[in-house]
Amino acid sequence: MTTVTMTVNGRPVSGEVEGRTLLAEFLREGLRLTGTHIGCDTSQCGACVVHVNGRAIKSCTALALDLEGAEVVTIEGMANPDGSLSRVQQAFQDHHGLQCGYCTPGMVMSAAALLQDNPKPSVEQIREHLEGNICRCTGYHNIVKAVLAASGQDVSALAAE
């Protein structure tokens, strides 16, 4: 076992891990931050997306030890300091952007990463950006709507058809 140290949601953390310990496992089992979900464990579904040094990655396909010293943000770090939901999270609630909720942590992290780079994305850009996040409930429509709303854009044209 080796000690790994990183900053998670602004807090310095460390833990004992094996070479093969995935970031997702370190977060969930080492730190008990179980908001990061493992859906497929094959880097296809995106439920495990977190931010590492400001960029979205799939935490099931990165080794904890490879991220020594990194700044990690998980879904637990997304709420506002006063505990209220962040803009993206609130928009998912307002626009019914989730049903079972399993994919939601990854969806929120991917959406937040998109809005960092592109504050006013088009519907097409939102859909393209979420290619690596799979949802089996919603049909994506309300997720796209939520992200559009979180960017402060008018969603009336996206009424359910």
Residues that bind another protein in the complex, under the rule CB under 8 A: 2, 18-20, 22, 41-44, 46, 49, 52, 55-58, 61-63, 65-66, 68, 110, 113-114, 129, 131-133
| Burial of 10: CB neighbours in 10 Å, binned 0-12, 13-18, 19+ | exposed
Beta carbon nearer to another protein, 69 or 81: 69
Q: Supply the minimum distance, in Å, between the C-beta of residue 69 and another protein.
A: 10
Dist. CA 44–CA 91, nearest whole Å: 25
Q: Supply the minimum distance, in Å, between the C-beta of residue 156 and another protein.
A: 27
Cα separations (Å) of 100 from 31, 92, 113, 148?
Answer: 24, 13, 22, 21
Q: Supply the minimum distance, in Å, between the C-beta of residue 159 and another protein.
A: 27
Q: Retrieve residue 90's tokens.
A: 């609130």
Q: Supply the minimum distance, in Å, between the C-beta of residue 130 and another protein.
A: 8
Beta carbon nearer to another protein, 3 or 93: 3
Are the beta carbons of 11 and 71 closer than 8 angstroms? no
Beta carbon nearer to another protein, 96 or 123: 123
Beta carbon nearer to another protein, 16 or 18: 18
Dist. CA 106–CA 2, nearest whole Å: 28
